[in-house]
Amino acid sequence: MVAMDVDGVLTDAGMYYSESGDELKKFNTRDGMGIKMLQAAGFVTAFITREKTAIVERRGQKLAVPEVHQGIDDKLAMLTTLAQKYGLSLDQVAYIGDDVNDLKALRAVGFSAAPADAMPSVLKAVHY
């Protein structure tokens, strides 16, 4: 399983708001292609984010991500639940995060990664 945060991992970490108050997020199509390649290789993919927006739900639907979990404060607990659901140990899980609220999850999995512009404490904690 490959699980990931959304804001700062699949987006540029910016929060954009229109004049009417609509929230916008910028996703990179290359990340979408990477997710599709993971799925084609047999990996379960998951979004685990603290934010809760319809945009993330739509992105998950578009990419056929089977596990989209929003409003999650304890990402490690969610990863543990998902690993159990799919009969995996945390050593068989990869997680990609960028901020301090990802640290517990990043430290617990078999493979962890972060974008180059992640928080310094995250960059020190990840495998890649």
pLDDT digits (tens, 9 = 90+) for 28-49: 999 999 999 999 999 999 999 9
- The domain in which residue 51 lies consists of 2-125
Of 11-20, 68-77, 86-95, minimum mean pLDDT range: 11-20
- Statement: the pTM of the whole predicted model exceeds 0.85: yes
Mean pLDDT to the nearest integer, 14-31: 92
Summarize the confidence of residues 17-37 as an average pLDDT: 94
3-class DSSP state for residue 96?
strand
Looking at the 3D structure of the chain, how many domains does it have?
1
CATH number for the domain including 108? 3.40.50.1000
The predicted-structure confidence for 78-118, as pLDDT tens digits, reads as follows 999 999 999 999 999 999 999 999 999 999 999 999 999 99
Residue with tokens 């599709």: 36
